Amino acid sequence: GISYNDIFLHCTVQICHSTAAVCKPNCTNDGRITRNKRETTPFPTHTVSYGPIKRKLVDDGEANINKGKLPPVETLILGGLLMAFLVITGVFGTLLLQSRRAYPLMQAQLTMSHFHNSEVAS
């Protein structure tokens, strides 16, 4: 069906500056009587408009309104920083592994041949 997202409210009001007794409401179901009384009233009528009034859309399971739009800038910045951190960590991790393979740890070997004669206790 047709959906109206913007609604405008138009009201015809009668403005009177007299006492409350003179401005009593005149509500009847007969339009002809109301029209005759309205035409003979000494008070002018004015149309008051208000709008647009935005209707709240109900989520009925259809496609998301934001679908196809780019994510906010903050999300892109955080994603970029995370990717940069992962790349830097990967580079340093690879360099560390390569350096350990090139220079394997040497076990300390303490033998008597490493000591000079002067260092041996007598």
pLDDT digits (tens, 9 = 90+) for 80-115: 999 999 999 999 999 998 888 877 666 666 666 655
pLDDT for 84: 97
122 domain-assigned: no
Residue 117 in any domain: the answer is: no
Is 42 a domain residue? Answer: yes
Q: Look up the pTM and report it.
A: 0.32
Q: How far is CA 64 from the centre of its chain?
A: 13
Domain count for the chain, please give it: 2
Same domain (yes/no): 13, 41: yes
Asked whether residue 84 is assigned to any structural domain, the reply reads yes
Residue 88 counted as domain residue: yes
Q: Residues 13, 46: one domain?
A: yes
Query: Which sign, positive or negative, has the C-alpha torsion 13, 18, 24, 27?
Result: negative
Whether residue 43 lies inside any domain: the answer is yes
Q: Which residues of the chain have pLDDT under 70?
A: 1-3, 16-43, 58-70, 104-122
Residue 36 sits in which domain range? Answer: 6-17+26-54
C-alpha pair distances (Å), 110 with each of 19, 87, 98, 121: 115, 42, 28, 16
